[in-house]
């Protein structure tokens, strides 16, 4: 299991969880995590992204298909500029830092 200490994604998940959001995560190197006492299993992105209100890119992994993210997500919060140069699909809005 990869080292998740000091991961900003865990902080963001915790903040969203405290506000009542249903959260999930995908990470090819971390199969499961625990946030605020709740255990999460990594989401398999090959199942698609149409069931999510928002996809947040917190860590840029070369193993992610960012073309899929831009094609399938409704809203993407891209904190790593991972979708740079990728045109979003119809109905996808991308917010970048």
- Reported for 31-35, long-range contacts at CB under 8 A and 24+ positions apart, including other chains, are 31/1, 32/1, 33/4, 35/10
pLDDT in tens, 38-95: 999 999 999 999 999 999 999 888 999 999 999 999 999 999 999 999 999 999 999 9
| ∠ CA 21-38-40, rounded to 5° | 85
Q: Where are the domains of the chain?
A: 8-96
pLDDT at 79: 96
Residue 4 confidence class, pLDDT cut points 50, 70, 90 = confident
């Amino acid at each position: 299991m990869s080292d998740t200490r000091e991961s900003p994604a865990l902080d963001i998940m915790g903040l969203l969880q405290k506000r009542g959001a249903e959260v999930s995560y995908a990470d090819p190197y971390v199969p499961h995590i625990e946030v605020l006492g709740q255990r999460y299993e990594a989401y398999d992105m090959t199942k698609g992204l149409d069931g999510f209100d928002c996809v947040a890119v917190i860590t840029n992994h070369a193993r992610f298909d960012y073309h899929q993210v831009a094609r399938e997500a409704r809203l993407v919060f891209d904190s790593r500029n991972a979708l740079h140069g990728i045109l979003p699909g119809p109905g996808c809005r991308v917010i970048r830092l």
